[in-house]
């Protein structure tokens, strides 16, 4: 009988989010003959906004939590994680997030870490320029001490190399094709009372400056595409402004945060993303898994996806509403079947969850097989 290696995934929480979705894909497609996954969260879960049940009930993975606040974590997390690793005879740890990466940077054993953003943009955007800059700098310092850190796209790898002289490999994000099998556009349109002849655009994500929903709304209005609708999925601090400028427009609907994003994608025709920054965006991958052609801002990760097949999407200059409006008018004149097929094939051939998980498994085996790395925690 082949001995299975115990892989521990350390995260802050299993809050519903893109990074946690990606973690679930890695675990779902693990070769269970070779690996035994476990999850350790640092803080307690918000039951209404957690994927813990999915990990335990569907993926059949044991989820443990330290239940530490951020303050308590500063003093207790490292020792408790170290103790957990020893007690459960863990062979390798895969961490994601600055808290988890900080802890694992000082525990000597085989370690993998995934950086899911370009920190010198994301952290200042979220926490303010000064604090965000310091966090980005610290996070890269933590990753330097980990055996195999990776980022989620080639474009982030290049940015870190060119702008920060930091060399790091990449494993591209993927999405789970199984989630989108069997979606019937006709049935879904009937369910949501959307006429079959409507040209339906969808935009998914937090209503924030980073995602630029106001630009999308204004560009869609200016495009004046006959018999069309725009649906927004997500909430955020720009919600009231979005509601205000769409109040008298029945062709733009703000649905809010939903658990059935796949159904909205399944009944739509096109996706719009005006995002200012991404890792390798889950939303775009999920839309393409549904065969949606995409209109995307020309940030590096979007360009990376477009370069895999430029028939799948159209790019516009980030923050340029006039150009976005023009591109919306252009995309409906292109051969839909050709673009839709190109989108689907990108996921199948390059960005599937199964492919991503296989690449991580190769990293795990490489580290575990190395004669220079002990699998025992020190």
Q: What is the 3-state secondary structure (H, E, C) of 151-195?
A: ECCHHHHHHHHHHHCCCCEECCCCECHHHHCCCCHHHHHHHCCCC
DSSP 280: S
Helix (H, G, I), strand (E, B) or coil at 271: strand
- Examine the pLDDT at 284 and tell me if it is beyond 90: yes
CA distance 236 to 253: 15
- Examine the pLDDT at 377 and tell me if it is beyond 80: no
User: Between the CA of residue 38 and those of 2, 57, 233, 301, 373, what are the distances in Å?
Assistant: 18, 13, 32, 30, 21
- Examine the pLDDT at 305 and tell me if it is beyond 80: yes
- The average pLDDT across 327-340 equals 97
- The average pLDDT across 288-301 equals 97
- Of 63-77, 310-324, 356-370, which gets the smallest average pLDDT? 63-77
- Examine the pLDDT at 111 and tell me if it is beyond 90: yes
Whole-number average pLDDT of the chain? 94
pLDDT band at 374 (very low <50, low <70, confident <90, very high): very low
DSSP 257: S
The answer to whether 190 and 295 are in contact (CB under 8 A) is no
- The average pLDDT across 27-53 equals 94
Q: What is the pLDDT of residue 266?
A: 97
- The average pLDDT across 287-298 equals 98
Q: What is the pLDDT of residue 73?
A: 64
- The average pLDDT across 232-239 equals 94
DSSP 19: H
Q: What is the pLDDT of residue 375?
A: 47
Q: What percent of the chain has pLDDT over 90?
A: 90
- Examine the pLDDT at 137 and tell me if it is beyond 90: yes
pLDDT band at 69 (very low <50, low <70, confident <90, very high): confident
- Examine the pLDDT at 371 and tell me if it is beyond 90: no
Dihedrals phi, psi of 119, to nearest 5 degrees: -65, -30
DSSP 334: S
Q: 52-91: b or e for each residue (b if 16 or more CB lie within 10 Å)?
A: bebbeeebebebeebebeeeebeeebbebbbebbeeeebb
- The average pLDDT across 8-37 equals 96
The domains of the chain, with CATH numbers, are 5-174+353-369 (3.40.50.2000), 177-349 (3.40.50.2000)
The pair of structure tokens assigned to 74 is 């500063």
- The average pLDDT across 190-209 equals 95
Within 8 A by CB and 6+ apart from 244, the residues are none
Q: To 10 degrees, the CA torsion angle through 179, 299, 349, 311?
A: 100
- Among residues 180, 378, 342, the alpha carbon closest in space to that of 268 is found at 180
- Examine the pLDDT at 134 and tell me if it is beyond 70: yes
pLDDT band at 125 (very low <50, low <70, confident <90, very high): confident
Q: Indicate the pTM of the whole model.
A: 0.92
CA distance 147 to 31: 22
The 10s digit of each residue's pLDDT in 70-105 is 666 677 889 999 999 999 999 999 999 999 999 999
pLDDT band at 49 (very low <50, low <70, confident <90, very high): confident
User: Between the CA of residue 74 and those of 33, 40, 54, 79, 145, what are the distances in Å?
Assistant: 36, 16, 29, 10, 19
């Amino acid at each position: 009988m082949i001995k299975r290696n115990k892989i521990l995934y350390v995260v802050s929480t299993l809050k519903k989010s893109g990074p946690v979705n990606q973690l679930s894909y890695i675990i779902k497609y693990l070769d269970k003959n070779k690996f035994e996954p476990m999850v350790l969260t640092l803080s307690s879960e918000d039951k209404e906004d957690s994927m813990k049940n999915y990990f335990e009930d569907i993926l059949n993975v044991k989820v443990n939590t330290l239940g530490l606040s951020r303050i308590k974590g500063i003093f207790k997390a490292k020792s408790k994680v170290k103790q957990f690793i020893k007690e459960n005879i863990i062979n390798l740890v895969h961490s994601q997030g600055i808290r988890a990466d900080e802890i694992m940077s000082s525990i000597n054993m085989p370690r993998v870490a995934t950086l899911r953003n370009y920190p010198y943009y994301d952290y200042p955007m979220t926490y303010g320029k000064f604090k965000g800059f310091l966090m980005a700098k610290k996070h890269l310092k933590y990753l330097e001490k980990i055996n195999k850190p990776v980022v989620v796209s080639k474009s982030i790898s290049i940015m870190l190399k060119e702008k920060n002289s930091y060399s790091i490999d990449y494993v591209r994000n993927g999405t789970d094709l199984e989630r989108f099998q069997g979606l019937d556009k006709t049935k879904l349109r009937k369910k949501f009372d959307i006429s079959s002849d409507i040209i339906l655009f969808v935009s998914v994500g937090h209503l924030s400056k980073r995602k630029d929903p106001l630009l999308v709304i204004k560009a869609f209005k200016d495009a004046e595409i006959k018999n069309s609708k725009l649906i927004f999925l997500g909430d955020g601090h720009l919600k009231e402004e979005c509601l205000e400028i769409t109040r008298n427009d029945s062709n733009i609907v703000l649905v809010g945060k939903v658990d059935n994003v796949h159904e909205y994608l399944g009944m739509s025709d096109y996706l719009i993303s005006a995002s200012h920054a991404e890792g390798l965006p889950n939303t775009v991958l999920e839309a393409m898994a549904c065969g949606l052609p995409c209109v995307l801002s020309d940030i590096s990760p979007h360009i990376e996806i477009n370069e895999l097949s430029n028939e799948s999407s159209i790019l516009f200059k980030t923050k340029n509403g006039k150009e976005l409006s023009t591109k919306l008018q252009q995309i409906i004149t292109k051969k839909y079947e050709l673009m839709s097929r190109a989108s689907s094939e990108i996921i199948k051939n390059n960005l599937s969850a199964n492919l991503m998980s296989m690449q991580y498994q190769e990293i795990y085996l490489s580290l575990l097989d190395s004669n220079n790395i002990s699998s025992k925690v020190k």
